[in-house]
Amino acid sequence: MKIERNEGEWLRSNSKVFWGEIAPNDHVVQIYEDDEVFLDLLEGFVSGGFKAGDSVVVIATAAHLNALEFRLRALNYDLIYLQTQNLYIPMNANQSLEKFMVDGWPDEKLFNQMVSGILEKARKNNRTVRAFGEMVAILWGQGFQGATVELEHLWNKFCESEAFCLFCAYPKHGFTEDAHSSLMSICCKHSKIVAGWGKPLHEISYQLVEQKKAV
C-alpha cells in the first residue's frame, strides 16, 4: 500500500496505480518498517516497468536483489532474456558505491561517469528508464549522513536533466536519533514520499511534508 500526501490528506493506492502515475523525472523515497513492505513496492516498480516496456535499473544489496529475483520469477518473468536485452539491469549497491566514493564522499565526476554508462545501456532503442537505488541507504546506515545527502543531490541533478524516474528506500531503523531532523534532511530531496511505517513515524513524516511544501 502506498500513501501520498495531497491537498491536506493522505491518499492510499496500490503500487500498480501509484507507479502508473509517476512522472518521468520524479524522485520517490520510501521509509519502511520491514523488507516485505519495501519489496512489495519495489516489485510493483520493476514489474510495472517491464509491462510499460521500460528499461529497469536496480542497484540494491545482494539480499534484496535475490529476494526481488525470486518474486519476479514467481510472476513468470524471463530475467535472463530481460537482462540480455538490457531491459533489466541489476547491480550490486556495495560494489557500485566503490566506483565513485573517495575518502567517504561521492566524487561527482566518477558518479556521473557510472550513471551515464548505465543510462546509455538502458536507453538503447529510445527506451524510457526507471531506476531504483539503495546506495543512499547503505551510506546512511554506515553513519555517513552528509555523504548521503550529497548523493541524493547528485541523483536529483540526473533526474532533472535526463528525465528518468528514480526510487530509493531507507529502513526505518536508520532514523533512531532526532528522527524529525534526520527525516527532514532526506525527505526534502524527493518529490514524493511513500509511507511504509506505523503511526509514530507516520505522524513525523506528515509534518515533514507540510514543512517541505511551505519552503
Each residue of 104-134: pLDDT tens digit? 999 999 999 999 999 999 998 889 999 999 9
Q: Write out the three cell numbers for 9.
A: 490528506
Rg of the chain, C-alpha, whole Å: 16
**HSE-up of residue 9 (Cα within 13 Å, Cβ side):** 3
Query: Looking at the predicted structure, is the pLDDT value of residue 139 above 90?
Result: yes
Mean pLDDT (the chain) is 79
Average pLDDT, stretch 30-36?
85
pLDDT-derived band of residue 87, with 50, 70 and 90 as boundaries? very high
Q: What is the pLDDT of residue 34?
A: 83
Q: What is the pLDDT of residue 188?
A: 62
User: For residues 85 and 9, which has the higher predicted lDDT (pLDDT)?
Assistant: 85
β-bridge partners, 130: 56, 165
Q: What is the pLDDT of residue 177?
A: 56
Assess contact for 147 and 105: CB atoms under 8 A. Answer: yes
Q: What is the pLDDT of residue 213?
A: 38
**HSE-up of residue 24 (Cα within 13 Å, Cβ side):** 12
The sign of the dihedral angle between the CA atoms of 38, 1, 49, 78 is: positive
pLDDT-derived band of residue 8, with 50, 70 and 90 as boundaries? very low
The count of residues in the chain is: 215
Q: What is the pLDDT of residue 137?
A: 92
**HSE-up of residue 193 (Cα within 13 Å, Cβ side):** 26
Q: What is the pLDDT of residue 42?
A: 93
Residue partners of 138: CB distance under 8 A and separation at least 6: 61, 93, 94, 97
pLDDT-derived band of residue 143, with 50, 70 and 90 as boundaries? confident
Assess contact for 80 and 47: CB atoms under 8 A. Answer: no
